[in-house]
Amino acid sequence: MPFDAPTLALLTVLGGLLAADATSLGQLMLSRPLAAGVLAGLAAGDPARGALVGALLETLHLGVLPVGASRYPEAAPPAVAAAAVYAATPGAGWGTVAALLLLALGWERVCGSSVQWLRKRNAALAVRPGTESLEPRWVAGVHRRAVALDVLRGAVLTFAALVAFAVLPPWIGAGDVPEGWARLAVMSVAAAAAASALRVFGTKRLPLFLLGVACGIAALVLL
Protein backbone atom coordinates (compact mmCIF):
# COMPACT_ATOMS: atom_id res chain seq x y z
CA MET A 1 0.00 0.00 0.00
CA PRO A 2 1.68 3.24 -1.11
CA PHE A 3 -0.25 5.42 1.39
CA ASP A 4 0.03 5.92 5.12
CA ALA A 5 -3.21 5.92 7.14
CA PRO A 6 -3.71 9.73 7.25
CA THR A 7 -3.21 10.03 3.48
CA LEU A 8 -5.61 7.15 2.88
CA ALA A 9 -8.18 8.88 5.09
CA LEU A 10 -7.65 12.21 3.34
CA LEU A 11 -8.08 10.64 -0.10
CA THR A 12 -11.19 8.77 1.04
CA VAL A 13 -12.80 12.00 2.26
CA LEU A 14 -11.72 13.78 -0.92
CA GLY A 15 -13.32 11.05 -3.04
CA GLY A 16 -16.56 11.34 -1.08
CA LEU A 17 -16.74 15.11 -1.46
CA LEU A 18 -15.87 15.03 -5.15
CA ALA A 19 -18.47 12.31 -5.80
CA ALA A 20 -21.09 14.62 -4.27
CA ASP A 21 -19.89 17.51 -6.44
CA ALA A 22 -20.90 15.59 -9.56
CA THR A 23 -24.63 15.84 -8.84
CA SER A 24 -25.66 16.46 -5.25
CA LEU A 25 -23.72 19.48 -4.13
CA GLY A 26 -22.02 22.20 -6.13
CA GLN A 27 -21.56 20.81 -9.62
CA LEU A 28 -18.45 22.95 -9.90
CA MET A 29 -16.85 20.13 -11.92
CA LEU A 30 -14.19 19.43 -9.31
CA SER A 31 -15.43 15.88 -9.80
CA ARG A 32 -14.16 15.75 -13.38
CA PRO A 33 -10.99 13.67 -13.73
CA LEU A 34 -8.97 16.66 -14.93
CA ALA A 35 -9.53 18.45 -11.59
CA ALA A 36 -9.89 15.37 -9.37
CA GLY A 37 -6.55 14.02 -10.63
CA VAL A 38 -4.72 17.19 -9.60
CA LEU A 39 -6.39 17.26 -6.16
CA ALA A 40 -5.67 13.57 -5.56
CA GLY A 41 -2.09 14.04 -6.73
CA LEU A 42 -1.67 16.91 -4.29
CA ALA A 43 -3.01 14.78 -1.45
CA ALA A 44 -0.78 11.85 -2.43
CA GLY A 45 2.39 13.93 -2.77
CA ASP A 46 2.96 14.33 -6.53
CA PRO A 47 0.39 16.57 -8.24
CA ALA A 48 2.10 16.40 -11.64
CA ARG A 49 1.69 12.60 -11.82
CA GLY A 50 -1.86 12.92 -10.55
CA ALA A 51 -2.58 15.53 -13.22
CA LEU A 52 -1.30 13.20 -15.95
CA VAL A 53 -3.65 10.36 -14.98
CA GLY A 54 -6.50 12.83 -14.48
CA ALA A 55 -5.99 14.28 -17.95
CA LEU A 56 -5.92 10.83 -19.56
CA LEU A 57 -9.14 9.84 -17.80
CA GLU A 58 -10.70 13.15 -18.80
CA THR A 59 -10.23 12.29 -22.49
CA LEU A 60 -12.20 9.09 -21.88
CA HIS A 61 -14.98 11.06 -20.19
CA LEU A 62 -15.50 13.67 -22.90
CA GLY A 63 -18.33 11.69 -24.45
CA VAL A 64 -20.15 11.00 -21.17
CA LEU A 65 -23.15 13.34 -21.13
CA PRO A 66 -25.53 13.47 -18.13
CA VAL A 67 -28.47 14.41 -20.31
CA GLY A 68 -31.93 14.10 -18.77
CA ALA A 69 -32.20 11.19 -16.34
CA SER A 70 -29.66 9.08 -18.26
CA ARG A 71 -27.48 6.50 -16.51
CA TYR A 72 -23.76 6.95 -16.98
CA PRO A 73 -20.38 5.95 -15.51
CA GLU A 74 -19.19 8.03 -12.57
CA ALA A 75 -15.78 9.68 -12.76
CA ALA A 76 -14.68 10.99 -9.38
CA PRO A 77 -13.92 7.97 -7.11
CA PRO A 78 -11.93 6.06 -9.78
CA ALA A 79 -10.11 9.24 -10.85
CA VAL A 80 -9.09 10.03 -7.28
CA ALA A 81 -7.88 6.46 -6.73
CA ALA A 82 -6.02 6.08 -10.03
CA ALA A 83 -4.32 9.48 -9.79
CA ALA A 84 -3.38 8.99 -6.14
CA VAL A 85 -1.91 5.52 -6.69
CA TYR A 86 0.18 6.72 -9.60
CA ALA A 87 1.27 9.83 -7.69
CA ALA A 88 2.30 7.77 -4.66
CA THR A 89 4.25 5.17 -6.67
CA PRO A 90 7.28 7.04 -8.05
CA GLY A 91 8.77 3.99 -9.81
CA ALA A 92 5.60 3.13 -11.69
CA GLY A 93 5.79 3.51 -15.47
CA TRP A 94 3.44 3.53 -18.45
CA GLY A 95 2.37 -0.08 -17.93
CA THR A 96 0.97 0.94 -14.56
CA VAL A 97 -0.76 3.93 -16.19
CA ALA A 98 -2.41 1.54 -18.68
CA ALA A 99 -3.52 -0.76 -15.85
CA LEU A 100 -4.89 2.15 -13.79
CA LEU A 101 -6.86 3.50 -16.76
CA LEU A 102 -8.34 0.05 -17.38
CA LEU A 103 -9.25 -0.38 -13.71
CA ALA A 104 -10.77 3.10 -13.62
CA LEU A 105 -12.90 2.38 -16.70
CA GLY A 106 -14.28 -0.70 -14.97
CA TRP A 107 -14.79 0.96 -11.58
CA GLU A 108 -16.64 3.86 -13.21
CA ARG A 109 -19.38 1.39 -14.19
CA VAL A 110 -19.64 0.09 -10.63
CA CYS A 111 -19.82 3.66 -9.34
CA GLY A 112 -22.48 4.49 -11.94
CA SER A 113 -24.57 1.55 -10.71
CA SER A 114 -24.23 2.81 -7.15
CA VAL A 115 -25.61 6.19 -8.28
CA GLN A 116 -28.69 4.35 -9.57
CA TRP A 117 -29.01 2.59 -6.20
CA LEU A 118 -28.73 5.98 -4.46
CA ARG A 119 -31.50 7.46 -6.59
CA LYS A 120 -33.83 4.58 -5.77
CA ARG A 121 -32.93 4.99 -2.11
CA ASN A 122 -33.65 8.72 -2.38
CA ALA A 123 -37.09 7.93 -3.79
CA ALA A 124 -37.85 5.77 -0.76
CA LEU A 125 -36.50 8.50 1.52
CA ALA A 126 -37.90 11.65 -0.05
CA VAL A 127 -41.06 10.84 -2.00
CA ARG A 128 -44.42 11.05 -0.21
CA PRO A 129 -47.05 10.58 -2.96
CA GLY A 130 -50.40 12.22 -2.37
CA THR A 131 -49.17 14.23 0.60
CA GLU A 132 -50.82 17.65 0.85
CA SER A 133 -48.69 18.95 3.70
CA LEU A 134 -44.95 18.69 4.41
CA GLU A 135 -43.03 19.95 7.42
CA PRO A 136 -40.16 22.32 6.48
CA ARG A 137 -37.89 20.43 8.89
CA TRP A 138 -38.73 17.13 7.19
CA VAL A 139 -37.94 18.49 3.70
CA ALA A 140 -34.62 19.97 4.83
CA GLY A 141 -33.78 16.81 6.80
CA VAL A 142 -34.34 14.28 4.01
CA HIS A 143 -32.54 16.48 1.52
CA ARG A 144 -29.48 16.85 3.76
CA ARG A 145 -29.50 13.11 4.56
CA ALA A 146 -29.54 12.32 0.83
CA VAL A 147 -26.51 14.57 0.25
CA ALA A 148 -24.69 12.99 3.20
CA LEU A 149 -25.47 9.51 1.85
CA ASP A 150 -23.96 10.50 -1.50
CA VAL A 151 -20.76 11.68 0.23
CA LEU A 152 -20.60 8.42 2.17
CA ARG A 153 -21.21 6.39 -0.99
CA GLY A 154 -18.39 8.20 -2.78
CA ALA A 155 -16.03 7.74 0.16
CA VAL A 156 -16.66 4.00 0.38
CA LEU A 157 -16.16 3.57 -3.37
CA THR A 158 -12.98 5.65 -3.29
CA PHE A 159 -11.56 3.69 -0.37
CA ALA A 160 -12.25 0.37 -2.12
CA ALA A 161 -10.69 1.68 -5.33
CA LEU A 162 -7.60 2.99 -3.53
CA VAL A 163 -6.95 -0.46 -2.06
CA ALA A 164 -7.71 -2.36 -5.28
CA PHE A 165 -5.79 0.01 -7.57
CA ALA A 166 -2.72 -0.14 -5.31
CA VAL A 167 -2.69 -3.94 -5.27
CA LEU A 168 -3.83 -5.03 -8.74
CA PRO A 169 -1.36 -3.41 -11.21
CA PRO A 170 1.74 -5.11 -9.71
CA TRP A 171 -0.22 -8.35 -9.30
CA ILE A 172 -1.16 -8.50 -12.99
CA GLY A 173 2.40 -7.60 -13.99
CA ALA A 174 1.71 -4.14 -15.38
CA GLY A 175 5.36 -3.26 -14.85
CA ASP A 176 6.39 -6.02 -17.28
CA VAL A 177 4.92 -4.23 -20.29
CA PRO A 178 7.69 -2.57 -22.32
CA GLU A 179 7.59 1.17 -21.64
CA GLY A 180 7.53 2.12 -25.32
CA TRP A 181 4.55 -0.11 -26.07
CA ALA A 182 2.59 1.00 -23.07
CA ARG A 183 3.18 4.70 -23.73
CA LEU A 184 2.29 4.34 -27.40
CA ALA A 185 -0.92 2.47 -26.52
CA VAL A 186 -1.97 4.88 -23.75
CA MET A 187 -1.40 8.03 -25.79
CA SER A 188 -3.03 6.51 -28.89
CA VAL A 189 -6.08 5.79 -26.76
CA ALA A 190 -6.00 9.39 -25.47
CA ALA A 191 -5.73 10.73 -29.04
CA ALA A 192 -8.65 8.57 -30.17
CA ALA A 193 -10.69 9.65 -27.14
CA ALA A 194 -10.04 13.33 -27.81
CA ALA A 195 -11.00 12.82 -31.46
CA SER A 196 -14.20 11.02 -30.44
CA ALA A 197 -15.40 14.28 -28.85
CA LEU A 198 -16.21 15.45 -32.39
CA ARG A 199 -19.35 13.29 -32.09
CA VAL A 200 -20.40 15.37 -29.06
CA PHE A 201 -20.21 18.57 -31.10
CA GLY A 202 -21.60 17.01 -34.29
CA THR A 203 -19.80 15.58 -37.31
CA LYS A 204 -20.95 18.57 -39.38
CA ARG A 205 -18.09 20.35 -37.62
CA LEU A 206 -15.49 18.06 -39.24
CA PRO A 207 -13.88 21.00 -41.11
CA LEU A 208 -13.33 22.78 -37.79
CA PHE A 209 -11.93 19.57 -36.31
CA LEU A 210 -9.49 19.29 -39.23
CA LEU A 211 -8.49 22.91 -38.65
CA GLY A 212 -7.62 21.89 -35.09
CA VAL A 213 -5.63 18.92 -36.39
CA ALA A 214 -3.65 21.26 -38.66
CA CYS A 215 -3.00 23.62 -35.73
CA GLY A 216 -1.87 20.67 -33.63
CA ILE A 217 0.56 19.46 -36.27
CA ALA A 218 1.91 23.00 -36.65
CA ALA A 219 2.34 23.25 -32.87
CA LEU A 220 4.23 19.94 -32.75
CA VAL A 221 6.54 21.05 -35.56
CA LEU A 222 7.16 24.52 -34.16
CA LEU A 223 7.42 23.75 -30.43
Partner 1 sequence: MSGGAPAVPRRALFLRSFALQGSFNYETLIGTGFAFVLLPALRAAAGGDEARLRASLARHAELFNSHPYLATVAVGAVARLEAEGAAPELVGRFKAALRGSLGALGDRLVWSAWRPACALLGLSVVLAGAAWWAGALVFLAAHNALHLWLRGWGLRVGLRDGLNVGKTLREAPLGRLGDRAADAGAVLAGFAAVLAFGQAGATGAQHALGAAAVAAGIALGFRLRWAAAAVLLGVLAAGAFLARTL
- Hey, which residues between 121 and 140 contact partner 1 (CB under 8 A)? 122-123, 125-129, 131-136, 139-140
Nearer to partner 1, 5 or 176 (CB): 176
Pick from 17, 155, 161, 174: which binds partner 1 (CB under 8 A)?
174
Question: Can residue 112 be called a binding residue for partner 1 (CB under 8 A)?
Answer: no
222 interacts with partner 1 by CB under 8 A:
no
Print the binding letters for residues 61-100 with partner 1: x by CB under 8 A, - otherwise: xxx-xxxxx---x---------------------x--xx-
Residue 174 near residue 95 (C-beta atoms within 8 A) = yes
Shorter beta-carbon distance to partner 1: residue 13 or 121: 121
Binding partner 1 (rule: CB under 8 A), the pick from 4, 48, 90, 113 is 48
DSSP line for 51-112: HHHHHHHHHHHTT----TT------HHHHHHHHHHHHT-TT--HHHHHHHHHHHHHHHHHHH
Asked if 167 is part of the footprint of partner 1 (rule: CB under 8 A), the reply reads: no
CA–CA separation, 17 and 181 (whole Å): 36
For the chain, helix, strand, coil in percent to 5 are: 75, 0, 25
